[in-house]
Structure 1
């Protein structure tokens, strides 16, 4: 694995369904040793995770990293809050945007970049029910068109 090679660990597909993604950011994660070993085995879920800014720090809640089997007493709580590592200027920029109505921070994916664990977070705006229906209708039309194309080319 190269110095900048990325290995995807967890993905949050639901975020794209529930939110309009405005801007993406990369942040490091403050982890314990056994948590890193568990991530290397791919045991992580961010489906229920959310991000908040508290006292000038970005914290991710609800990110589930399963306990490492051989970690015994060194294992941490799988759902504990974890600090995300970003530059202060980026944190201030995000804090200003979040104060605007409708904006929130959502985790999109967790991955290794080289040997470092990273999380991709997005500045997102919540979708209304009719927006979700429009997206579903577009996907159905696209799928139907691909089916028609496949049938014609056989």
Structure 2
């Protein structure tokens, strides 16, 4: 039986993307989580600034937190501007938090943010993946498989 397709989230404007995560980790499931942000953080993200390249999510005090995500200070902000690398709370249902906590604790999985985007309603969201780290030989296999798919596509296109 074929595997079911993962849900596709309604992304209107992608602000930050962690492209390296799909190579470094094998992704099991993907969740959409809201971000609890201050006003200057939202304004900074709307200008397209922000990076999640070195960030990860952690489960603390019954909630999920985005750690080490860099949202630079808003240029026109005042003295109430935000800290660029502060931990930010991710908004998930309690059932989802419990699932993630069980997977991270038992199976040694990691929570990796894939993208930060604004949805159709203008809300800041994070695409959060439950992933397992790849070893060096797994990465080489992934590269070989990807190259073969490209080559097969080229051959089919040329002959078809």
Q: Is the pair's TM-score, using the shorter chain for normalization, greater than 0.5?
A: yes
Cα distance change on mapping 1:54 and 1:6 into 2, 3 Å? same
Residue 49 (structure 2) aligns with = 43
Residue 107 (structure 1) aligns with = 113
* Aligned mate of 1:86, from 92, 97, 100: 92
Alpha-carbon RMSD: 1.7
For residue 80 of structure 1, give the secondary structure of its aligned residue in structure 2: coil
* Aligned mate of 1:64, from 43, 60, 70: 70
Residue 37 (structure 2) aligns with = 31
Residue 125 (structure 2) aligns with = 118
* Counterpart-to-counterpart distance in 1, 2:32 and 2:46: 19
Report Cα offsets for 1:117-151 as digits up to 9, x if no partner: 01010111111111100111122233344555667
* Aligned mate of 1:133, from 137, 140, 156: 140
Alignment of structure 1 residues 3-14 onto 2, 5 Å: 6-14=12-20
For residue 45 of structure 1, give the secondary structure of its aligned residue in structure 2: coil
- Count of residue pairs the alignment pairs up: 150
Structure 1: gaps (5+ residues):
none
Report Cα offsets for 1:34-71 as digits up to 9, x if no partner: 10000001101000001100010100111000111100
In proportion to residue count, which structure has more strand?
A: 1
| 8 Å CA contact 1:107, 1:120 repeated in 2 | yes
Structure 2: gaps (5+ residues):
1-9
